[in-house]
A and B are shown apart, each in its own frame.
Chain A
Amino acid sequence: MADTLTIGKALNLGLRRAMEDDPKVVLMGEDIGKLGGVFRITDGLQKDFGEDRVIDTPLAESGIVGTAIGLALRGYRPVVEIQFDGFVYPAYDQIVCQVAKMHFRSRGKVSLPIVIRIPFGGGIGAVEHHSESPEAYFAHTAGLKVVACSNPSDAYWMIQQAIASDDPIVFFEPKRRYWEKGPVDTDSAPFALHESVVTRPGSDVTVLAYGPMVRTALDAATAAEEDGRSLEVIDLRTLSPLDMVPVYESVRRTGRAIVVHEAPGNLGLGAELAARITEECFYSLEAPVLRVTGYDTPYPAARLEEEYLPDLDRVLDGVDRSFGW
């Protein structure tokens, strides 16, 4: 059945379906129960599934994730909502030191099927702690899988796939796109969880994006068309492990690659992508892999965020730089 849903509603329905399918799925987080979360992603779930399965926690991220570990150790599949990206740092210790490592150090005797949902990125007129893109911190850590959805269909399916995964998953949600609508086929998942997808085919330059920047890249592709340039947009979807095969295939065809993300450029996902593309596609490249990213500054005040965030013009400028090489 095909519906038109917002990303936020698609996540809500995905969570609902995961809870219906598996009684071991429990949700926990700050204000997620009665309120339904500050972005209303869990709206109505406590009412329908009860206070035992949708839990309003104290403001204590380390304690929340630690409790989720204890539940996962005993067969539950906890889904933790971190209210805003910048609030995850108190839990960083538990995520990096315990969640990521317990399967490895126990030689597989312990699995932690935990999903940590993080609304991330800027563009909502908020400030630091509420607009950050901390994905590289997690992608750097072996033992964590990191994904980012960019559209309603992925939101609906990827959250269910993440919950069904036996590995711990850090699940990034593009908060400024929560209200954007798109088609969702609720009968079958179009893609696997850890699969990168060509979202818009093109022939002149490959643009790699994820989360909120996919929409920006697609808008840039539409604008570039008027200049006679054909941009191929790949939605990475999985940030760790990266699915590089479609990327290599595309770059070998186009000879050019641009990575777009909101996170600062220094040691961001773009650096890893540039390195890998260079290692694998060196002789196909017409120009260096370029990055269009947030700046290497703390996230700025709300009135300044438009200066900070990569937008259509900056992506097109990246395209110009690639062709001008």
Chain B
Amino acid sequence: MNDLLRMYELMAVIRRTEKAAYDLFMAGLVKGTTHLASGQEAVAVGASEALRDDDYTFATYRGHHHTIARGATPEACLAELMSKATGLCGGKGGSMHLTYAAGNMLGSYAIVGSHLPMAVGAAWSAQLRGSEQIAVAFFGDGATNIGAFHEALNLAAVWKLPVVFVCENNLYMEYTPIASVTAVANPAADRACAYNLPASIVDGNDVLVVRSAVREAAARARDGGGPTVLEMQTYRHFGHSRTDPATYRPSWEVEEWLSRDPLTIAAAQLSKEDVAAADARAEKVVAEAVEAAKAAPPAEGALTDVWADGSSTWRT
């Protein structure tokens, strides 16, 4: 299978997994909230394709795509969303905290910006070991206005650490246009120069373009060239969270971006037969995942795992 077809199929799996998450939510089988990344799949898949298996990635609460792109199964993700014992975190993390440590996907973080310094720490650990691993932090445009973003860029630059900072600029900080609350036009890329870091603005909906940009940044990091800031221009197909119909976005803008759907862009470079076959495989994988997740036993242990010994003993 050629690279593009493999990436297309992975994006198709992610798209369908998130559709399933939405349907399960509406059916009352997912509690809490979900933040769908539909429309942003190319960022996760293109970046993961550019990484070694032992490289580290950190994601945000909008992180389903980043988790599956690093090899977590749709079943384990959906089970986690449904708070099932077979979920990635035993059903205790939920949609916002998907973590697949076995695949070096070191977590999704729901406090905006908090994981950027963590990626710096993971990169530092690689540098201490001399392992040539790198760390990638994915974050939204909204994160660029919080202190942790700036602290992390400075730390990584000062210590010349192997980190790639990947901003998924989907134009909206939750419900507010990022342009209306940010002093620069390109919220991540325009800040990089303040930390003497190279930056690029990348078409985040073209998986091949994403892969190529991340490959270049990853190679620089691995060769001791330090961090890079990549700003991926993309768009979410849905609102910020499950309860947001996203009526604040003009319809022309939505239509323009829907016409640049990352799956469509990739499919246009593949044969119809290949695309149909990949779609069918993705459909089957996700349908099976839904059934398996539904059938899995519920999570247990609201009172366990507070401490490293597994207990929650609070009073002695």
Residues of A within 8 A of B (CB): 26, 52, 57-58, 60, 62-76, 78, 90, 93-94, 97-98, 102-111, 113, 142-143, 145, 165-167, 194, 241-245, 276
Contacts and interface: CB of A to CB of B under 8 A. Distances in A.
B56, B89, B125, B305 — which one has the most chain A CB atoms within 10 A of its CB? B125
Interface of B: 56, 89-94, 97, 99, 101, 106-107, 109, 111, 114-126, 128, 135, 147-148, 151-152, 154-155, 158, 301, 304-310, 312-316
Closest 9 CB pairs of A and B: A70-B121, A66-B117, A63-B151, A107-B90, A166-B308, A74-B125, A70-B118, A67-B121, A60-B151
Contacts of B308: 103, 108, 111, 113, 165-167
A70 B135 contact: yes
Contact of B89 (A62, A75, A109): A109
A246 to B, nearest CB: 10
B160 to A, nearest CB: 13
Given A63-B120, A106-B92, A57 B155 contact: yes
A27 B194 CA distance: 27
Contacts of A78: 121
B117 A65 contact: yes
B121 A97 contact: no
Contacts of B154: 58, 60, 63
20 contacts: A60-B151, A66-B118, A67-B155, A68-B121, A70-B125, A73-B101, A76-B125, A93-B111, A103-B307, A104-B92, A105-B92, A106-B101, A106-B305, A107-B301, A110-B101, A142-B306, A241-B315, A241-B316, A242-B316, A243-B316
Interface majority SS (helix, strand, loop, mixed), chain B: mixed
Given A62-B114, A66-B115, A111-B308, 10 more contacts: A62-B148, A63-B120, A65-B117, A66-B120, A66-B121, A66-B152, A73-B106, A78-B121, A108-B305, A113-B308
B306 A69 contact: no
Contact of B99 (A68, A93, A110): A110
Contacts of B119: 70
Nearest to B87: A107
Contacts of A71: 121-122, 124-125
B132 to A, nearest CB: 14
Nearest to A196: B316
Contact of B116 (A64, A66, A105, A276): A66
A241 B101 CA distance: 29
Given A66-B152, A107-B90, A52 B305 contact: no
